[in-house]
Amino acid sequence: MKQKKLWVTLIAILILATITSKCKKDDYEEISGECPIVVSTNPANLETGVSLDQIIAVTFNTKMDEATITQSAFSLYTTSVKNGKADETRVEGALTFNAENNTMSFAPSANLTSNTTYTGKVLTSVKEIHGNALQTPYIWTFSTGSFVTPTVISTVPRNAAVNVATNTKVSATFSEPMDPLTLNQSTFTLKHGTTVVNGVVTYIGITTTFSPSAPLSANTIYTATISTGAKNNDGIAMGSNYIWTFTTGTTPDGTAPVVISTVPVNLATEVTINSSLLATFSEAMDPLSITDASFTLKNGTIPVPGAVTYTGIVAKLKPLAILSPNTLYTAMITTMAKDLAGNQMEQNYIWTFTTGGVPDDVAPTVIVTVPENLATNVAVNARPLAIFSEGMDPLTINPSTFIIKQGTTPVLGVITYSGITAVFSPLSNFAANTVYSATITNAVEDLAGNKMINNYNWSFTTGSAPDNTPPTVIAVYPLHLATNVAVTTQPTATFSESMDILTINTSTFKIKQGSTPIAGYVTLIGDVATFTPASNFAANTVYTATITNNVEDLAGNTMVNEFVWTFTTAAAPDNTPPNVISTFPANLATNVPVNMNPTATFSELMDPLTINAATFKISQGSTPIAGVITYAGLVATFSPGSNFAANTVYTAIITNNVEDIAGNAMVNDYVWTFTTAAAADITPPNVISTFPINLATNVPLNLNPTATFSELMDPLTINNASFTLKQGVNTINGAVNYSGT
């Protein structure tokens, strides 16, 4: 019995010795049993959605020997598989230790990568103050979130700009709100060669501005840089430095800015009660001057509280509450608004509108793109654009919602927005003979906050050369020397190609009565610019319209010469509603080619803003047909996304929401049907007659030459580039119109 008790005692002693033994053989006089352990980490084990600027923290249960907390004692890494083996990529950074809370911290040298799993490891070389070491390596993992790095979406001056005013400020607009503390003279720099330009950096909304301390030098190249030190409010840094250059001219900017368009337009009615307001300026403005003091809205004399934001050249006022129905409101941009050169508006800009009774809950759509879907031989210096069915929130039009890719590689570019048009300007030319895909995502919103239902996708293929051809005016309304023009007319100019919306404004499209400028605003839809006077023209009066040679196409080519025309008004306004005078195919037509683009010809010039996918529709039974709507001259064209089905009945409709340029709507919808054939039309058209005929003599001096085709033509291809008149080698200037065949 005694022997048995002895064995029990020995076993108990061994167990106790094991429990109280040293943690690990080392060089210190130890206190038995105090092994260091990791009690917490930040991020925690298996945590997800970790910020990209996360500092890694490891906390121990006891005081640690700081001499053992070294760079080699901790590692943070990602794991990938290469050649069938695990490959670890270590994250560089700095390790520190806080003895007060027993915590070591690792600060990565650069932001972590989004959507990535990281592994942290603490080695057994770390010891507590009595020499006890960590018994086993401590290993844990965490994953970063799906964070989008901020980007620069536009700059002023824009990249490669020339003849920039010497008194300009330089600004950059971001894709999202930024941390103002990260925008300063260290992260926003301006240089002439290697010489740093002194200045002050400010930030408001999503725009940062560099104000040079002195005027810039004339005829000098400057380089502006936003560095990766700029971060958004989540601490996410820019993915790379954003660099652009511009060249100054010889003089300062002394021209006062003006408001060139608004949403709603002046005197608009039935405005939705949940809509925001937009004001587009003739040039980039100082964001610090666009506030709720300089952009106001009133119901009578009662101010309407609202939030004012600014991006690009567009200011937005979003009322804090829904507007009252059936109410007259007055909006104003005051002379407190300044451009980037410090020039104030010369006078307040005031406009009014009347609300309707209901909110806007209709989703916006893309109605036109340039290039169109599946276009080929697109110039490598093109600037793709998308036109929407209504005014959009400019803050939602940015590189994350307007995307162009070559395969899976995103194309870097700057997005601008004005009116209802978004333009993508690549930072460099597209590659030649290459397919690109473009997307407007369903994250874009209209001014009531409605998002697009689906992404809008299209593709195009580049040609081998840039577009170096200057644009021209190919048609105007009223015609040159026209008389008896309605006093309610909105003059239009149609260009030979789509134009850069930022160059089409009241500075480049002007109307005068004698030497007196006519107040109004200018809109651009694709290749058609419209001047809407602030009030009716005077009766029986001669007016002169001018398109200056400062307008540019989407490749940056300017017009060679100004285009000037005159017209004389009538004694009374135009109250006659427009109507459809012909269609192709005709109503009840059969055997229609499946590759045909239906058209509708109107009795008079129409407001291009009202000719869109909501007013020109084609369906097969109850199924809508997707397509792109264009308008030129008197003709609206529906281009389906793909050929029509063979031997099928289709219904086309022009709704009574279309308006002429005097604002008169059609009285009734116009509906027609046609039946397709079994095949496509591959027969080329030809000219079947001309007037005057070939070799005609004694032709009147005031004659307008005409050409009649064998079939209906695409009106967008009939212009003064395809229909020319020359005297010897000298081209005769004129306007080309197309109707019928």
For residue 695, what pLDDT is reported?
Answer: 87
Specify the DSSP element, H or E, that contains 8.
Answer: helix 2-20
Same-domain check for residues 430 and 496: no
Which of 287-301, 499-513, 618-632 has the highest mean predicted lDDT (pLDDT)? Answer: 287-301
Same-domain check for residues 65 and 92: yes
Strand positions, DSSP E, 130-220:
138-144, 152-156, 161-164, 170-174, 188-192, 195-196, 199-204, 207-212
Place of tokens 């005078």: 581
Domain boundary, last residue among 248, 279, 314:
248
Query: Rounded mean pLDDT of 122-132?
Result: 93
Measured in whole angstroms, how far is the alpha carbon of residue 552 from the centre of its chain? 18
Spatial contact of 397 and 451, defined as CB atoms under 8 Å apart: no
**Which residues, other chains included, contact 243 with Cβ-Cβ below 8 Å and sequence gap of 6+?**
223, 224, 225
pLDDT band at 23 (very low <50, low <70, confident <90, very high): low
> Residue 264: is the preceding peptide bond cis (ω within 30°)?
yes
Tokens of 726: 């020359």
Tokens of 668: 């009734």
pLDDT band at 241 (very low <50, low <70, confident <90, very high): very high
For residue 9, what pLDDT is reported?
Answer: 46
For residue 227, what pLDDT is reported?
Answer: 96
Could you give the 3-state DSSP secondary structure of residue 80?
strand
CA atoms within 13 A on the CB side of 441: 10
Same-domain check for residues 586 and 645: yes
Residue 316: beta bridge partners?
A: 278, 309
Note whether residue 410 is domain-resident. Answer: yes
Same-domain check for residues 560 and 628: no
Q: Round to whole Å and give the CA distance between 704 and 475.
A: 14
Q: Which of 268, 280, 342 is nearest to 314 (CA)?
A: 280
739 vs 573 pLDDT, higher one = 573
Q: Which of 289, 116, 139 is nearest to 205 (CA)?
A: 289
The neighbour count for residue 119, using CB atoms within 10 Å, is 15
Q: Round to whole Å and give the CA distance between 489 and 615.
A: 21
For residue 24, what pLDDT is reported?
Answer: 52
Note whether residue 254 is domain-resident. Answer: no
DSSP 633: T
Q: Which of 305, 306, 318 is nearest to 278 (CA)?
A: 318
392-417 pLDDT, tens digit each:
998 889 888 999 999 988 898 888 88
Spatial contact of 259 and 280, defined as CB atoms under 8 Å apart: yes
For residue 218, what pLDDT is reported?
Answer: 95
Q: What is the CATH number of the domain that holds 639?
A: 2.60.40.1220
Q: Round to whole Å and give the CA distance between 259 and 333.
A: 8
Domain count, the chain: 7
Q: Judging by DSSP bridges, how do beta strands 509-513 and 516-517 pair with one another?
A: antiparallel
Could you give the 3-state DSSP secondary structure of residue 88?
strand
Check: pTM over 0.75? Answer yes or no: no
Region at 115 (left for phi over 0; alpha for psi -120 to 50; beta for the rest): left
Tokens of 57: 């923290």
Same-domain check for residues 164 and 140: no
The neighbour count for residue 98, using CB atoms within 10 Å, is 13
Note whether residue 8 is domain-resident. Answer: no
Q: Round to whole Å and give the CA distance between 729 and 304.
A: 62
Residue 333: beta bridge partners?
A: 295, 349
Residue 426: beta bridge partners?
A: 413
pLDDT at residue 505 greater than cutoff 90: no
Going from the C-alpha of 400 to that of each of 216, 312, 386, 424, the distances in angstroms are 34, 16, 15, 12
For residue 716, what pLDDT is reported?
Answer: 64
Domain extent, residue 542, equals: 473-569
For residue 458, what pLDDT is reported?
Answer: 95
Spatial contact of 133 and 67, defined as CB atoms under 8 Å apart: no
Spatial contact of 467 and 382, defined as CB atoms under 8 Å apart: yes
For residue 390, what pLDDT is reported?
Answer: 85
Going from the C-alpha of 535 to that of each of 519, 531, 547, 573, the distances in angstroms are 8, 11, 20, 12
pLDDT at residue 360 greater than cutoff 50: yes
Domain boundary, last residue among 547, 569, 591:
569
Q: Round to whole Å and give the CA distance between 386 and 419.
A: 11
Q: Round to whole Å and give the CA distance between 537 and 540.
A: 9
% helix, strand, coil for the chain, step of 5: 5, 45, 50
Note whether residue 31 is domain-resident. Answer: no
Note whether residue 1 is domain-resident. Answer: no
Same-domain check for residues 69 and 126: yes
Same-domain check for residues 240 and 265: no
Q: Judging by DSSP bridges, how do beta strands 242-248 and 161-164 pair with one another?
A: parallel
Going from the C-alpha of 473 to that of each of 429, 488, 531, the distances in angstroms are 26, 23, 15
Domain boundary, last residue among 320, 335, 355:
355
Spatial contact of 155 and 184, defined as CB atoms under 8 Å apart: no
For residue 122, what pLDDT is reported?
Answer: 96
Same-domain check for residues 383 and 287: no
Spatial contact of 368 and 411, defined as CB atoms under 8 Å apart: no
Spatial contact of 525 and 387, defined as CB atoms under 8 Å apart: yes
Spatial contact of 155 and 172, defined as CB atoms under 8 Å apart: yes
644-691 pLDDT, tens digit each:
999 999 999 999 999 998 889 999 999 999 999 987 777 888 898 888
For residue 600, what pLDDT is reported?
Answer: 94
Spatial contact of 539 and 524, defined as CB atoms under 8 Å apart: no
Q: Round to whole Å and give the CA distance between 317 and 395.
A: 12
For residue 434, what pLDDT is reported?
Answer: 96
622 vs 22 pLDDT, higher one = 622
Spatial contact of 387 and 420, defined as CB atoms under 8 Å apart: yes
For residue 21, what pLDDT is reported?
Answer: 43
53-93 pLDDT, tens digit each:
789 999 999 999 999 999 999 999 998 877 777 788 999 99
Query: Rounded mean pLDDT of 355-383?
Result: 90
Q: Round to whole Å and give the CA distance between 611 and 664.
A: 13
Q: Round to whole Å and give the CA distance between 530 and 135.
A: 79
| CA-derived radius of gyration, the chain | 34
Spatial contact of 644 and 652, defined as CB atoms under 8 Å apart: no
Least reliable range by pLDDT among 34-43, 57-66, 470-479, 717-726? 717-726
pLDDT at residue 431 greater than cutoff 90: yes
Q: Round to whole Å and give the CA distance between 505 and 495.
A: 14
Q: Which of 566, 555, 589 is nearest to 677 (CA)?
A: 589
Note whether residue 345 is domain-resident. Answer: yes
309-353 pLDDT, tens digit each:
888 788 999 999 999 999 999 999 999 999 999 999 999 999 999
Note whether residue 17 is domain-resident. Answer: no
Same-domain check for residues 421 and 490: no
Average pLDDT of the chain? 88
Q: Round to whole Å and give the CA distance between 441 and 455.
A: 4
pLDDT at residue 290 greater than cutoff 80: yes
Same-domain check for residues 370 and 351: no
Same-domain check for residues 404 and 447: yes
For residue 32, what pLDDT is reported?
Answer: 54
pLDDT at residue 14 greater than cutoff 80: no
Note whether residue 347 is domain-resident. Answer: yes
Same-domain check for residues 130 and 95: yes
For residue 26, what pLDDT is reported?
Answer: 52
